[in-house]
């Protein structure tokens, strides 16, 4: 059972997710809150597997709450959610250690898949967000020195799928391999790139021109 803690200031959206998530197989909603001022305290209390954090929160922004959670409990997985695609917010969330970034979607099943991906050590980047990350790093960042990273052809294929924002299931289908094999390849990719999340892996892949 994957325990989830939700921070969402939009009452209707919060209530909608609060009704749907507990009904999804394998998901347990520990709590849902309208602001993140006590996020660290609540994370310590409920010990969630995944935190869903709205980026635009009252009193304390989602990014500030993300930073506080990561400082207090670096292993806690946090997925940012937003209706905004602002480049600065996307970059700030990734740099702060977000394990995923999802655009608010009227289809709640998208959230379930994203939660499962993050829980399993991967990430979820909505396709439009993945495209923004790609564009950002193509135009704003350049590697000053060549770094040698030896990835196998299959690892490169999986990493390319991650850059496109694909979920574990989508990667498995695209590469014609099992879900567990995808997990194994991504774990190896993390080790070789010295990262702990898919957004970090995507950043390095683009910065170092690995794909």
Q: Give the domain CATH number at 162.
A: 1.10.10.10
- Residue 130 counted as domain residue: no
The answer to whether residues 102 and 172 belong to one domain is: no
Q: Is the pLDDT of residue 6 over 90?
A: yes
Q: Give the domain CATH number at 36.
A: 3.40.50.2300
Higher pLDDT: 178 or 129? It is: 178
Its domain, for residue 30, covers 2-119
Q: Give the span between the Cα atoms of 111 and 39, in whole angstroms.
A: 20
The answer to whether residues 36 and 87 belong to one domain is: yes
Would residue 151 be called left, alpha or beta, if left means φ above 0 and alpha means ψ between -120 and 50 degrees? beta
Question: Of 1-5, 72-76, 140-144, which gets the smallest average pLDDT?
Answer: 140-144
- Residue 185 counted as domain residue: yes
Nearest to 121 by CA among 174, 65, 75: 75
**Each residue's pLDDT tens digit, 76-122:** 999 988 876 666 677 777 777 888 888 887 677 888 888 988 888 77
Nearest to 65 by CA among 101, 86, 96, 111: 96
The answer to whether residues 6 and 97 belong to one domain is: yes
- Residue 37 counted as domain residue: yes
C-alpha distances out from residue 25 to 1, 2, 20, 30, 169, Å: 8, 9, 10, 15, 17
């Amino acid at each position: 059972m994957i325990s989830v803690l939700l921070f969402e200031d939009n009452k209707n959206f919060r209530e909608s997710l609060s009704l749907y998530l507990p009904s999804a197989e394998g998901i347990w909603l520990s709590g849902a809150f309208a602001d993140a001022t006590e996020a660290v305290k609540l994370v310590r209390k409920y010990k969630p597997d995944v935190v869903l954090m709205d980026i635009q929160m009252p009193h304390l922004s989602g990014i500030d709450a993300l930073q506080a959670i990561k400082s207090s409990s670096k292993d806690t997985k946090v997925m940012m959610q937003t209706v905004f695609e602002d480049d600065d917010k996307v970059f700030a969330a990734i740099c702060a250690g977000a394990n995923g970034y999802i655009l608010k979607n009227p289809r709640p099943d998208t959230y379930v898949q994203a939660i499962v991906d993050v829980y399993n050590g991967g990430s979820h980047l909505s396709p439009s967000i993945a495209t923004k990350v790609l564009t950002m790093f193509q135009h704003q960042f350049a590697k000053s020195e060549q770094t040698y990273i030896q990835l196998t052809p299959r690892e490169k294929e999986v990493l390319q799928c991650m850059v496109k924002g694909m979920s574990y299931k989508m990667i498995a289908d695209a590469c014609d391999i099992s879900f567990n094999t995808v997990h194994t390849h991504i774990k190896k990719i993390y080790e070789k790139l010295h990262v702990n999340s898919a957004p970090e892996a995507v950043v390095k892949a683009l910065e170092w021109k690995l794909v």
